[in-house]
Amino acid sequence: MQPIQIYDTGSKPNTSLRISLLGELSVRKDAVEIALPASRKARALLGFLVATARPHRRERLCEMLWDLPDDPKAALRWSLSKLRQVVDSPDLKRIVADRERVSFNIEDVEVDIGTIHKRLRQRSDKLPIDALEAMAAQLDNVLLDGLDAAGSDEFRSWLMAEREDAAVARVNVICQLATHPDMPSVSAPKWKRLWNDVDPEGAEAYYTGTPASGAPTTHPAIAVAATTKPVPVEGLRNQRISFCEAPDKTKIAMATVGEGPPLLKAANWLTHLELDWASPIWGKCFSEIARRRTFIRYDERGCGLSDWNVKDLGFNAFVEDLEIVADKLGLERFPLLGISQGAAVCIEFAVRHPERVSGLILIGGYSAGWQHLASQEEQARREAVRNLTAVGWGTDNSAYRHIFSHTFMPDANADDLDWFDEFQRLTTSPHNAARFQDAFGEIDVRHRLSEIRAPTIVLHSKGDQRIPLDQGRALAAGIPDAQFVPLDSRNHVLVDYEPAWNVCMQAINSFLEEYDI
């Protein structure tokens, strides 16, 4: 098969390494194509690492690509060794791996689809015709062609989403060509016809000047990018993941997305910076927040992309991790978002550093864990669930995790509950899941509530089956001048299709506007 032609898209990094994801995966050094491993899984691994350009846990990579071998970790190590021969050089290691994570150093590497997305995100009206035509030619190829069956259902879902992104980019490029003011008259009909083929509604709306939505007609490329591309997928692509190190050497993964004043979310049960953004649970909430602000999240020690093998899973470590993230990002004064046990972490931080906290948003929070407040019967039930977690969390049988899913979101639909069941398994180990329950039960910041000086809003579901409404009410009553907003829901974690979600988001936005934070 002939190598795919590399087109000039108007951006030429100072690099000798070029990677093509459009069409069959290919790698070139100094314009010479390098032979790739014969293994489809190894090639899929390289494509995934390059396309995502962020660290991934070894466990997740094994589950995505090697669900059948007796030793998937060995298969991953073998593939990495083969890929190093392709992309590494004596003075620069592109495959970056430690005991827990693997990533690809994308610095100064030209990736075809990445270059195209970057230029289109600029949303310029002045992209030259030759650059747009080169992009259109590249986007005619199927992204990572031939690797559809290289991995698990999760890999196929990821690949489908990436191909949908590429398809949106192709529509964007074609409509810019169809409406380009410098397009020669002999070529214009071709691009108008193509635009009508791939996006008939958008083409008709542009030429008639009457969009179906009733909104004013804008440049078609901007309209397509704004209406066709799902916000959570765009957020996942644009979020910037990095790491900081706690005093005990634990690596904490953190992510920022959006622009504007910062809003820092404390970690809570359970998170994964890659998986939760595009989730049916958190995705819309996070994208709504990031529309107006620089939204900052981090994975708690022991879960997600942060280190799992940690000695300390105590409350003080949780608070110190929040401080480490804020310091690493140079945040001086900012509002905090605390969900569930994250509320207590925010409260403790606000008391320790009142000069840094401009406001507190506490959702489904509590000031004292179950070990302090629960009856003997409730404590026995909690301990039984904890013991079941330790032995059953990591199994394929989701019944153990469904105990949590159902109490977190009793009114969520079946698909979302199934997603959350699997999400929990991927975020942490059985041992840590049990340890987290112990740590959350020991929390007690009741003595700190009266010391809060920052404006505070407390939101709590009336029928919360995880944290009773009385605990949310007590939280608000203990904080001077705190606002309290009861939500008409039974869910501890709100889902975006229930009315309470809109009430919650409107209350948060009003609170931030009221205090100008």
What would the pLDDT profile of 347-362 be if each residue is shown by its tens digit?
999 999 999 999 999 9
d(CA 145, CA 430): 37
pLDDT at 453 over 70: yes
Of 31 and 514, which is predicted with more confidence? 514
Burial class (CB in 10 A: 0-12, 13-18, 19+), 1: exposed
Q: Tens digits of per-residue pLDDT, 283-298?
A: 788 888 888 899 999 9
Q: Which domains does the chain have, with CATH numbers?
A: 1-228 (1.10.10.10), 234-368+444-514 (3.40.50.1820), 369-442 (no CATH)
pLDDT at 124 over 70: no
Of 182 and 461, which is predicted with more confidence? 461
Of 223 and 92, which is predicted with more confidence? 92
Average pLDDT over residues 306-320: 96
Q: Percent of the chain scored above 90 by pLDDT?
A: 57
Of the pLDDT bands very low, low, confident and very high (cuts 50, 70, 90), residue 31 is: confident
Contacts of 481 (CB under 8 A, 6+ apart): 455, 456
Burial class (CB in 10 A: 0-12, 13-18, 19+), 322: buried
d(CA 276, CA 282): 6
pLDDT given for residue 219 in this prediction: 44
Q: Tens digits of per-residue pLDDT, 142-152?
A: 999 999 889 98
Average pLDDT over residues 471-485: 98
Average pLDDT over residues 425-444: 92
pLDDT given for residue 223 in this prediction: 41
Q: What is the pTM of this model?
A: 0.63
pLDDT given for residue 203 in this prediction: 80
pLDDT given for residue 195 in this prediction: 87
pLDDT given for residue 222 in this prediction: 39
Average pLDDT over residues 386-410: 78
d(CA 452, CA 169): 48
Average pLDDT over residues 384-397: 75
Nearest Cα neighbor of 477 from 460, 502, 494 is 460
pLDDT given for residue 334 in this prediction: 98
Q: Which two tokens stand for residue 130?
A: 């030759």
| Residue 276: CB atoms within 10 Å | 22
**Mean pLDDT over the full length of the chain:** 87
pLDDT at 213 over 60: no
Element (H, E) at 134: helix 129-139
Strand-pair category, 251-257 with 240-245? antiparallel
Write the single-letter amino acid at 468: P
d(CA 440, CA 170): 48
CB 324 within 8 Å of CB 332: no
Give the least confident one: 341-350, 428-437, 458-467. Answer: 428-437
Average pLDDT over residues 379-391: 80
3-state SS class at 278 = coil
| Adjacency order of strands within the sheet including 251-257 | 240-245, 251-257, 294-298, 262-265, 334-339, 357-363, 456-461, 483-487
Average pLDDT over residues 309-326: 97
pLDDT at 382 over 60: yes
